Amino acid sequence: MTVDRVEANGIQIAYESFGNPADPALVLIMGLGTQMIGWPEPFCRQLAQQGFYVVRFDNRDIGESTHLSDLPAPDIRAVALRRRPPAYPLEACAADTVGLLDALGLDVVHLVGASMGGFIAQLVALNAPDRVASLTLMMTSTGSRRVGQARLKLVANVLRRKPATSREEAVAATVAMFELIRSPGYPVDAAYVREIAGRSYDRGYDAAGARRQLGAAIAQRDRTRDLATITVPTVVLHGLQDPLVAPSGGLAVARAIPGSRFVGFPGMGHDLPRPLWPDFIAEIVANAHRARVG
């Protein structure tokens, strides 16, 4: 695949596309510290085969998009306790997404957001509602601290993690984290996980950038009341064994958005197990077909 870049919201966004640009656009937003290759290429191609122009991209501070290295990585504990602001708010990431749509000439799109990407997709739908035809929100939450909280073991792991000093250390750390969040009900392709971890390191490892993203996610506002204003077709997909964003987060999103549907997957954690791809794609496509536009 050829990575393209555009100027968007004052930074450069790296993206890849699949399918026919004349088809309705479907934009995939990935989560915290995860590059666009976290959306597997075969998954993207299968979506394109359903009649969509599929776009995946690197969020700011990750992969081949702009890294805001002039901004210091925040003290995560201080941000969590509201004693310090993040390097930037999550709304900046939503503005990046809208800027990408502008640069690509995509007026109205179907949005699919996973984890932090789901937070961002919600903000796009709230701040630029005329740009969104449908929403698929995967393993995400409302921003309320009362729901969707990670297990304490995971929180402790994130807080004590030190930046890797080599490719080998970075790959090992990624594999170790994946073991904590993966789907217990599905087999693991260990070689694939290591491959993605290595490719991610090569494309742009940046521990400070990931912490800036984490600060934005931790400082996000509670969107529960605002979500009631979303009127586009919405489906919420969530693993029922998700240790990073508890299922209560997805359930809260589905309760907050009028007419939305919650689909829970037994045995699924905080990843995209390949045996569930047909289910994910079927839900994304069915939800997009409910939209008035596209």
In a domain, 294, yes or no: no
In a domain, 80, yes or no: yes
Strand order in the sheet with 261-265: 4-8, 11-18, 53-57, 25-29, 109-114, 132-138, 234-239, 261-265
Backbone angles phi, psi at 142, to 5 degrees: -95, -10
Question: First and final CA of the chain: distance in angstroms?
Answer: 26
Write out the H or E segment, with its range, that includes residue 289: helix 277-289
Predicted confidence at residue 161, as pLDDT, reads 78
Spell out a b/e string for 200-215, using b for 16 or more CB atoms within 10 Å of the CB, else e.
bbebbbbbbbbbbbbb
The rounded distance, in Å, linking the Cα atoms of 9 and 4 is: 16
Residues lower than pLDDT 50 in the chain: 293-294
CATH of residue 64's domain is 3.40.50.1820
Give pTM, 2 decimals: 0.96
In a domain, 224, yes or no: yes
Residue carrying structure tokens 């290429």: 41
Domain that holds residue 51: 4-289
Predicted confidence at residue 142, as pLDDT, reads 98
The rounded distance, in Å, linking the Cα atoms of 248 and 147 is: 5
In a domain, 106, yes or no: yes
Predicted confidence at residue 158, as pLDDT, reads 73
The rounded distance, in Å, linking the Cα atoms of 17 and 25 is: 10
Count up the domains in the chain and report the number: 1
Predicted confidence at residue 294, as pLDDT, reads 42
The rounded distance, in Å, linking the Cα atoms of 172 and 194 is: 8
In a domain, 155, yes or no: yes
